A = this chain, B = another copy of it.
Amino acid sequence: MTEILHGRAIADSIKADVAALARELSESGIDPRLAVVLIGDDPASRIYTASIEKSAARAGITVSVVEPAASVGGDGVAAVLRKLDRDPEVHGIIVQQPLPAGIPTAVIEEVSPEKDVDGSTTRSAGLVALGRPAFAPCTAGAVVEMLVRSGVEISGRHVVIVGRSPVVGRPLALLLLRKEDAGNATVTVCHSRTVDLERHTRSADILVAAMGRPEAIRGHMVGEGAVVVDVGINRLEDASAPKGYRVVGDVAFDEVVGKAAAVTEVPGGVGSMTTALLLLHTVRAAGAQSGHGEGGGGRFG
């Protein structure tokens, strides 16, 4: 029997925790607040922002959507971010990407690690790399939460990650190496240049597919009893589907069911947890910044 791991259900459990932590902070007079910085008119960013606002409202987190005009340029956006970063009422900052032409990605570096709840800055990446407290990109964090909340032991297990992107594979490897209960894994990172990929994937206790290639992890590549986490979200043309396409992961789901101990579904897997992670990071940031430690959700990172 292969257990199906449902990202939406885990996202709900995270959001319930966030709501409880936000309530605790609120009782101490702290109003957890996330600033979403939205520049230009990227439609996907607008949809994501609306979805953050909705989830945040339910969890008791206030969202300020800040929309500098693209015409203010890189310096103007940097000034807006510096102001938010200094504002004690703002605990977390996310800058929606992609940025419009003319706004360099480097503006994000104005955000301090303490408020960088999407783990987007070089300094956050450095702290994660050094094994020090910091927020990792939400998707990497979502994989860890998926495992922890599904009761999967991480410490001492062999995790094989396929994919070395700066937002998933690399930070996830570094998170899983941390000296803590949700870390202490032995970690292998594979990628497009890996020779004999199957040998590596079959040896995994926990296999994470994050290379962005539809159904590239086939059944014979998965060891009996492995836990398989699928981070991929790919569109495949499918004339028989209502929208003309269907969404599949990086894992050939049907081939893995019956063999793996557990597997995440796509859609409805890790991808549906990122907003929950953003809110979790925000409430932790608020706790840490206001001196409310573990109890108040004040874990930084």
Q: Please list the residues of chain A having a beta carbon within 8 angstroms of any beta carbon in chain B.
A: 121-131, 155-158, 164, 166, 170-171, 173-174, 177, 184, 186-191, 193-195, 200
Contact = CB atoms under 8 A, between A and B. Distances in A.
Given A125-B127, A186-B194, A187-B189, 19 more contacts: A122-B126, A122-B127, A122-B130, A123-B126, A124-B126, A125-B126, A125-B129, A125-B130, A126-B129, A131-B170, A156-B193, A164-B177, A170-B174, A170-B177, A177-B189, A184-B191, A186-B188, A186-B200, A188-B188
Nearest to A162: B186
A181 to B, nearest CB: 11
Contacts of A191: 177, 184, 186
Contacts of A170: 129-131, 174, 177
Interface core residue of A157, A170, A186, A189 (most chain B CB under 10 Å):
A186
A43 to B, nearest CB: 27
Contact of A129 (B158, B166, B184): B166
What is the count of identical protomers in the complex? 2
A187 B194 CA distance: 9
A188 B200 CA distance: 10
Contacts of A177: 164, 170, 189, 191
A178 to B, nearest CB: 9
B188 A193 contact: no
Q: Which 7 pairs from chain A and chain B are nearest by CB?
A: A126-B126, A125-B126, A129-B129, A122-B126, A188-B188, A184-B193, A130-B166
A176 B195 CA distance: 15
Contacts of A166: 129-131
A123 B128 CA distance: 11
Nearest to A165: B131
Contacts of A131: 164, 166, 170
A294 to B, nearest CB: 23
Contacts of A193: 155-156, 184, 186
Contacts of A128: 129
Interface core residue of A166, A171, A193 (most chain B CB under 10 Å):
A193
Given A123-B126, A126-B129, A130-B125, A156 B194 contact: yes
Contacts of A194: 156, 186
